[in-house]
Structure 1
Amino acid sequence: MPRTNKKKKKGGARAGDSSEYDTAEETASVTSSHISEPDSIDEAIASHGLDDVDETSGQDAFEEKIRDFIDGTTQKSAAGRKHCFEGIRAAFSKKYIFDFVDSRKITIADCLERSIKKGKGDEQVLAAKLLNTLWIQLGAGPECEEVFAALRPVLMSKVLDKTASPAARASCASALGLGTFIAAAEFETVCSCMNALEDIFSASYLKGDGSSPTHKPGVSTLHTAALNGWMLLLSITPTSRIKHIVETHLPKLPDLLSSDDVNLRIVAGEAIAMLYELAREDDEEFEGDDIDELVVKIRNLATDSNKHRAKKDLRQQRSSFRDIIQTIENGESPQELVKFGVECLEIDSWVRRRQYSIIRESLGSGTNTHLQENPLLRDIFGLGAPLVIGLGGHKKASKTERHNFNSAAFKARTKVRSKQRDKRVAIY
């Protein structure tokens, strides 16, 4: 039966869908980024006195607070260092301040390296999360490449260290994935990182007897973070490598759909959908092996009513797997519109959704500011140069201007995705 009808329908809910599992309370599209519920950056901004200082006291006062936090990362108290890491991360999330960060990147990187190597638990987690905002501030240039080259071995070592806490390894896996995505100069580095991340989440594949492995608390979160990072790097894999990755990973990933962890099930489903999306860019009729069995599994998850699962988990799971089944059966990608200032970003593929998700997880409420001002994000999402806003403040775009903007974005989005995946030389 045909499964590649590529008609696009706007919005998370699909109008006219009368399937038995489409309930009124579950019409919103949910992705893994919304499920992970990272610690609130808004709360960190307020608790560290960063919420109003740049408006009331000027940029100098804002930067002075960050300097104080940077100085505090060398103190002997672990609690004090953690407080300072939280403050720096909140500041980096709130505003795009490339020049300030660039002039202090080595000092910051040294402190983070020391904490990731020698710190314990929560300190390692906070240091790795701060790294994500550091990558985003520095962008895809030599400034970030220098820091990434110094810290990549440290992150790789911690990710693979089975004696470290799962939470620390999970945060380091996210930092390794995003850092590689932004700063890796050679695709060989990307491959090395993908292999390391796969070694982690493959531990959740089914055992030889077909049963799901049992893990200690926190390990499933680690596997979810590793799979998320692997997907992010898959999004920039050259087209010439996609066929091989689809052939080797599509038969394995459905094992993760049997996991007891709802987040891992959902992320695994999204990874499968992304593989189908990428495979069909080359072959619109691609179905893969055992697609009928896969569809049955995913439909069961989209209609799951297991009373032993939490209601919130079931809602998230059913909503996500509705989008996933539409991609596999009909070739439809998820649709979401993100508005920021007078602009908007169309999330129209699993590739773009994964890229936006990691940015949103890293920056929280500061995402919109960075979308407006940060050249890295504007390049990733094909937004062009930052808009210049006059002294009169933000001017609402007219209906014609919005239509023209969206039309241009619609025409360019496929080229942008292809360019992102092919900009690095493939290594065989």
Structure 2
Amino acid sequence: MDLFDSDDDTCSLSSFYTMRSEIPRMDEVHVQKDVMLDQSLDALYEKRSSTREQALASIVDAFKSDLQHEFVEKNFATLLDRCLHCIKKGSTKESLLASHVIGLLALTAGLGDQAQEILEESVTPLSQALKSSSEALKITSILECLAVITFVGGANAEQTERSMQIIWQMIDPKLVSNVVATKSSPAVITTVVSSWTCLLTTVDRWTLGPKILQGTVTYLSTLLEKDDRSVRIAAGEALALMFELGILEKFDAEAKGSDNGSVKEEREALINMHRLISKVTDQVRDLAVEAGGKGCAKKDLNTQRSLFKDLVEFLEDGVAPETSIKIGGSSIETSTWCQMIQLNFLKHFLGGGFIKHMQENEFLHDVFSFTPKKIGGHSTMTNEEKRLFQSPNSAVSKARTKLMKKERMISLTRKFYSISS
């Protein structure tokens, strides 16, 4: 019996060609991702918390790895509703992931009606969740979410200032009546200040009045004395932005033009504010040259020194620090505190999705006046990105290796049959 007359062998050969045809093309990969997102959205209706957590994690990964415009166009209202439900009723992990999804949803939608709807539908549930929670992880994730959706969807100063007040009252409830002061963790304080500062970059003018302004600066001054360096750094960036925007200088004009109080009260307010600014300036100089103590994290200390040295230089010469981040063959450059604060905040929020979004997200292109370079229709990659892409442990390399093995098997089978025939 001829070995190659067997039906089994014919089936075997056929299976090799079937296997080749099953290798996914790029369009098929997109279809698979769409199916995965649809399944994850459906899973958010499941009763088991772990199932919802897994679904939310998959959505976060999908939104970071690609711009899901079609999915957002079709499903943003449903996804937003389910995420808000997870924040209200779900576990801490669910709330953390759902908050991240809502922020990514707004960044993907960009400017327009969808982003404004995301903000208006979310602000009350998020505010209520902040008031009812005592878990730092849940609070920080909601704060960052509120900052991002306001940054994208805030159409006017009133919406932005509303979010800023919701955020700020988490650490300084004196600004709001009938709120009891509670001690916040360094992580919460840092997130409050950085989120509030990010939104302050979008405000054209301070409209909350000189008394609230003085209270805010006083509070930031106390934060410069805290032991936690992340708190000091966040407070320093907030003060730097306030100096850059000229808010502190405007205090003089607003205090003098106020209809409330006597001339004596106005004079006292001005004197107190100038003393406060003088105190802050001295604090900034001290932090720029602070010596490291035993057990001090060198990286944190260097970050603090660098920030406050830049702030001292800005106060003396009016020169803001310049930064540059490589994105493929292009660079995002900042030359103001405002730009640097926005970039650092969004980079932190996007995490591993920062490069992808900076390359393809038109909203971010507009925010930073950034146009990524493309060669031959494809975005260029930095050496670091190439290293990650070419790493034998990367998903791309594993898929490439699997494909090459299949190609070799097919090639060997063809040769084998050719010789035998």
TM-score by length of 1: 0.69
Aligned-partner residue type, residue 233 of structure 1: L
Please show how residues 92-111 of structure 1 align to structure 2 within 5 Å.
92-111=63-82
Matches within 5 A, 1:109-124: 109-124=80-95
Change (3 A) 1:243 1:353: farther
Q: Is the 8 A contact 1:242 1:279 kept in 2?
A: no
Q: Secondary structure at the match of 2:227?
A: coil
Q: Separation in 2 of the partners of 1:343 and 1:81?
A: 38
Secondary structure (helix, strand or coil) at the match of 1:345 reads strand
- 2:226 is aligned with 1:259: yes
Q: Secondary structure at the match of 1:103?
A: helix
Q: Distance in 1 between matches of 2:205 and 2:196?
A: 16
Contact 1:201 1:224 in 2 (8 A): no
Q: Conserved in 2, the CA contact under 8 Å of 1:242 and 1:278?
A: no
Alpha-carbon distance in 1 for matches of 2:321, 2:140: 27
Shift of 1:237: 0.7
Task: Indicate the residue corresponding to 1:87 in structure 2.
Answer: 58
Instruction: For 1:121 and 1:76, locate their aligned partners in 2 and report how far apart those are by CA, in whole Å.
Output: 16
Displacement of 1:117? 0.5
1:78-126: CA deviation from partner (whole Å, max 9, x where unpaired): 1221121111111111111212212111121121011100112222111
**What's the RMSD between the two structures over aligned residues?**
3.2
2:217 aligns to what? 250
CA pair 240-221 structure 1, distance change in 2 beyond 3 A: closer
Q: Is 1:227 matched up with 2:193? A: yes
| Structure 2 spans left out of the alignment, 5+ residues | 1-23, 176-180, 254-272, 382-421
The 5-angstrom pairing of residues 253-332 of structure 1 reads 253-279=220-246, 289-304=275-290, 305-307=292-294, 309-332=296-319
Q: Matches of 1:366 and 1:230 in 2, distance apart?
A: 23
Shift of 1:360: 0.9
Separation of aligned partners in 1, 2:299 and 2:329: 34
1 CA distance for matches of 2:109 and 2:28?
25
User: Based on CA coordinates, which of the two structures has the bigger radius of gyration?
Assistant: 2
| Alignment correspondent of 1:210 | none
Contact kept? 2:193, 2:234, Cα under 8 Å: yes
8 A contact 2:144–2:349 mirrored in 1 = no
Secondary structure of the residue aligned to 1:346 is strand
2:333 counterpart SS class:
strand
Instruction: Name the residue aligned to 2:144.
Output: 174
Determine helix, strand or coil for the equivalent of 2:169. Answer: helix
Amino acid in structure 2 at the alignment position of 1:90: D
**1:152 aligns with one of 119, 123, 128:** 123
The answer for unaligned runs of 5 or more in structure 1 is: 1-52, 206-212, 397-428
- Contact kept? 2:126, 2:146, Cα under 8 Å: yes
Q: Does 1:350 align with 2:357?
A: no
Of structures 1 and 2, the one scoring higher in RCO (CA 8 A, sep 6+) is: 1
- What's the counterpart of residue 199 of structure 1? 169
Matched residue SS, 1:363: helix
Is the helix fraction higher in 1 or 2?
2
Note closer, same or farther for the CA distance 1:136–1:72 as it changes in structure 2 (3 Å cut).
Answer: same
Deviations 1:225-259 (A, max 9, x none): 11111111110111364995755533431111112
Distance in 2 (alpha carbons) for counterparts of 1:346 and 1:199: 33
Q: Which amino acid aligns with 1:262?
A: R
Q: How many residues align?
A: 331
Contact 2:96 2:138 in 1 (8 A): yes
TM (norm. structure 2) is 0.70
- Distance in 2 (CA, whole Å) between partners of 1:274 and 1:75 is 45
1: distance between equivalents of 2:379 and 2:55? 34
Partner Cα separation in structure 2 for residue 214 and residue 267 of structure 1: 20
Find the counterpart in structure 2 of residue 18 from structure 1.
none
Alpha-carbon spacing, 1:345–1:280, altered in 2? closer, same or farther (3 Å): farther
Residues 1:378 and 2:378 are matched in the alignment:
no
